[in-house]
Amino acid sequence: MSVTITHDPRSAAGGSPLIVTEDAALLDDLLRLCAAAGATPEVHHGPPDQGGDWDAAPLVLVGDDAAHRLRGSARRRQVVLVGRDQDDPGVWRRAVEIGADHVLILPDGEQWLVDRIADVAEGVGRPALTVGVIGGRGGAGASTLSCALAVTSAREGLRTLLVDADPLGGGLDVLLGGEGAEGLRWPAFAASRGRVGGGALEESLPALHSLRVLSWDRGDCVAVPPQAVRAVLAAARRRGGTVVVDLPRRLDDGVGEVLAQLDLALLVVPAELRAVAAAGRVASVVGMVVRDLRVAVRGPYAPGLDDHEVARLLGLPLAGEVPVEPALLRPRGAGKPPGASARGPLARFCTEFWERALTEAGGAR
């Protein structure tokens, strides 16, 4: 199964842009760009009434032909003056006269304008706090911590997406007990290009434990093109809340696209010398892309090591000690995802992590 999502046709969460122009050719172009962004605009051939569409529209696109008729209009933000003549120096003066925020010359600025229209149609606000989790060595527990972070975030009422970026990891939907849940997996997005609608993406994914999960299916596909990874993750981030990404230790172009969009990353390191040595190699690569890389240490500790010493050896800030969740080690814990017990030590670790991370990022999203 393959699907390409290019835009989200619903704009209830955002609003409709306003177009003001009498230039028929320019209007055709602007309507085409609105359609590409999944937005249905309001169109005025003359100045709109003050206090009506002019004030209510989240974005106003003013044709250069109409600028002189808007000189007396009330000033507002999110006004774009759209023209065609690259060599007309007067366009900047006309933009100042109507209080435009931007001047856009077609066709060069088409992609920027499509993205801007799509933003207002989707009601885009603050992007999601995006956290990557990667193991310092194989079996470090990165997938377990990724799931626990996502489950905890969702329990706190945040819109949460858990992304499985490791095609060889067996599937995070399995770890969450939802391998049979309906919804799309990574291979369905392999053909995605450009801008993916955030709302359409969210609704297409399996819903497990009050969060959405983007995982791998059980087919032969073990990679999607980097441009698809970039588009899908960017769409997820535009929805706000939190995004947690379980990263593989095998870094390729697709993983590079993920790393470029992370706000911070956690390097999970068992407290043993060999694991610390392996983690140092991972940190040297990941740290070139991710500015905020922290170490999460998992016991038991080898002689002479503690969490602070592991962080010192790696030269990274310490995120804390990842505790063992006893319930996950017992047979009756089967079917319960990591972090499911709000009073468990792993959930408490994740809660404290989110409190710090969200505060550092400027509050709840």
Report the pLDDT value the prediction gives residue 330, as an integer from 0 to 100: 57
Average pLDDT, the chain: 88
Give the helix ranges, DSSP H, for the chain.
24-36, 53-56, 90-98, 110-122, 142-155, 172-175, 198-204, 226-238, 253-260, 273-286, 307-314, 326-329, 345-360
Report the pLDDT value the prediction gives residue 324, as an integer from 0 to 100: 84
Residue 234 lies inside a defined structural domain of this protein: yes
Report the pLDDT value the prediction gives residue 9, as an integer from 0 to 100: 33
User: Residue 47 — very low, low, confident or very high, per pLDDT cuts 50/70/90?
Assistant: confident
Statement to judge: residues 168 and 209 lie in one domain: yes
Statement to judge: residues 61 and 178 lie in one domain: no
Statement to judge: residues 92 and 149 lie in one domain: no
Final residue in a domain of this structure, among 71, 100, 122: 122
Report the pLDDT value the prediction gives residue 364, as an integer from 0 to 100: 54
Q: What is the CA radius of gyration of the chain?
A: 24
Residue 6 lies inside a defined structural domain of this protein: no
User: Residue 365 — very low, low, confident or very high, per pLDDT cuts 50/70/90?
Assistant: low
Report the pLDDT value the prediction gives residue 56, as an integer from 0 to 100: 87
Statement to judge: residues 196 and 140 lie in one domain: yes
User: Residue 53 — very low, low, confident or very high, per pLDDT cuts 50/70/90?
Assistant: confident
pLDDT tens sequence across 299-326: 899 998 999 999 999 999 999 999 987 7
Q: What is this structure's pTM?
A: 0.74
Statement to judge: residues 146 and 41 lie in one domain: no
Distance of CA 81 to the CA centre of its chain: 29
Report the pLDDT value the prediction gives residue 7, as an integer from 0 to 100: 32
Statement to judge: residues 261 and 307 lie in one domain: yes
- Among 13-22, 80-89, 300-309, 330-339, which is the least confidently predicted range? 330-339
Structural domain count of the chain: 2
Question: CA 149 to CA 256: how far, in whole Å?
Answer: 22
Statement to judge: residues 145 and 101 lie in one domain: no
End-to-end CA distance of the chain: 34
Statement to judge: residues 89 and 230 lie in one domain: no
Report the pLDDT value the prediction gives residue 13, as an integer from 0 to 100: 46
Residue 157 pLDDT > 70: yes
| HSE-CB of 77 using CA atoms within 13 angstroms | 2
User: Residue 328 — very low, low, confident or very high, per pLDDT cuts 50/70/90?
Assistant: low
Final residue in a domain of this structure, among 77, 105, 122: 122
3-state secondary structure of 356: helix
Residue 341 pLDDT > 80: yes
Angle between helices 253-260 and 226-238 (to 10 degrees): 20
Residue 350 lies inside a defined structural domain of this protein: yes
pLDDT tens sequence across 196-221: 878 888 999 999 999 999 999 888 88
CATH of the domain at 256: 3.40.50.300
User: Residue 14 — very low, low, confident or very high, per pLDDT cuts 50/70/90?
Assistant: low
Phi then psi dihedrals of residue 359, to 5 deg = -65, -45
Statement to judge: residues 150 and 27 lie in one domain: no
pLDDT tens sequence across 178-191: 988 999 999 999 98
- Residue length of the chain: 365
Residue 333 lies inside a defined structural domain of this protein: yes
Residue 9 lies inside a defined structural domain of this protein: no
Beta-strand pair 211-214/207-208: antiparallel
Statement to judge: residues 77 and 211 lie in one domain: no
User: Residue 2 — very low, low, confident or very high, per pLDDT cuts 50/70/90?
Assistant: very low
Statement to judge: residues 114 and 165 lie in one domain: no
Question: CA 244 to CA 236: how far, in whole Å?
Answer: 10
Final residue in a domain of this structure, among 122, 150, 165: 122
- Among 131-135, 183-187, 190-194, which is the least confidently predicted range? 190-194
Residue 161 pLDDT > 80: yes
Residue 3 lies inside a defined structural domain of this protein: no
CATH of the domain at 27: 3.40.50.2300
pLDDT tens sequence across 75-97: 898 999 999 998 898 999 999 99
Is residue 64 a contact partner of residue 27, using CB atoms and an 8 Å limit? no
**pLDDT > 70 fraction of the chain, expressed in percent and rounded:** 92
User: Residue 329 — very low, low, confident or very high, per pLDDT cuts 50/70/90?
Assistant: low
Dmax over Cα atoms in the chain, in whole Å? 78
- The top-scoring range by mean pLDDT among 22-31, 34-43, 67-76 is 22-31
Residue 104's domain comprises 18-122
Residue 301 lies inside a defined structural domain of this protein: yes
Residue 268 lies inside a defined structural domain of this protein: yes
Statement to judge: residues 60 and 195 lie in one domain: no
CB crowding 146-167: b at 16 or more within 10 Å, else e? bbbbbbbbbbbebbbbbbbbbb
Residue 285 pLDDT > 90: yes
Report the pLDDT value the prediction gives residue 38, as an integer from 0 to 100: 79
**pLDDT > 90 fraction of the chain, expressed in percent and rounded:** 64
